[in-house]
Homo-oligomer: A and B are copies of this chain.
Amino acid sequence: MALYRQVKRQLIADIQSGKFQPGKALPNETELAQRFGVSIGTLRRAVDELVADHVLLRQQGRGTFVGQQDNDRFMYQFFKIEGRDGTREFPQIRLLGFDVARANAEEAQVLGLHGAARVLRIENLLSLQGRPVVHDRITLSCALFPRLTREQFAQRPGTIYELYQRAFGVTVVGADERARAEGADAASAALLQLPVGSPVLRVARIARTFDRQPAELRVSIIDTRVHEFVSSASAPR
């Protein structure tokens, strides 16, 4: 296998193991190259790919840093809801529910679990400009997020993905999403303050960590009277 790919895998392993901490600088390129026993060009090629995926972040003159799942990253990579006029705003989040259950068939399939595995089900309501806009239902595998409690979740200092990264070493690097229109059910309609059956956007997102491993299933019911879901069709790699 190509040498630079092995170097890349080792860098990922060092991030997952916690050897390189989110937000902290890596050793400089010369030292990393020596440590891995490769030339600087090869080391740079490995880092290049991780920078393209926003796993690492380079700043000329300062160093190379491990990417953090902070508010900024969340807003520009994962929060794809904005006003029809293009207004973007960090949502206010209210926790509605936090329960342990057995995975249903869909959850087990997308999260790669066996039939009766334990999962956490978390329910949130997101507001923009004081108005409720998104009703989120999140499913997590208890095996991947061991001993996550409601208190720990509710009192996290940063974003949800930052909690995954710091407390469980799970770095979300991308997601697959599927959208459809449907009529609002009673629960979502009440929360979003619209009539039952009104057209709402339903987005199912599977957040993934390295090697496309699924980490989270999130179903969002979105009121698109004032907001829209934005996306882009660039060439996949």
Instruction: Give A residues with C-beta under 8 Å from B.
Output: 52-54, 76-78, 80, 84, 173-183, 199-201, 205, 222, 224, 227-237
Instruction: Give me 7 other A-B pairs in contact (C-beta within 8 A), A77-B235, A174-B234, A179-B179 excluded.
Output: A52-B237, A77-B233, A77-B234, A173-B234, A174-B233, A179-B224, A231-B231
Whether the pair B178, A235 counts as a contact (CB closer than 8 A) is no
The quantity of this chain's copies bound in the complex is 2
Q: Which residues of B contact A179 (CB under 8 A)?
A: 179, 201, 224, 228-231
Whether the pair B77, A180 counts as a contact (CB closer than 8 A) is no
Interface of A is mostly: strand
Q: Which residues of B contact A222 (CB under 8 A)?
A: 181
Would you give 18 A-B contacts (Cβ < 8 Å), ordered by A? A54-B235, A77-B233, A78-B233, A80-B233, A84-B178, A173-B235, A174-B235, A178-B231, A179-B179, A179-B224, A179-B228, A179-B229, A180-B229, A181-B200, A181-B222, A182-B224, A183-B199, A234-B236
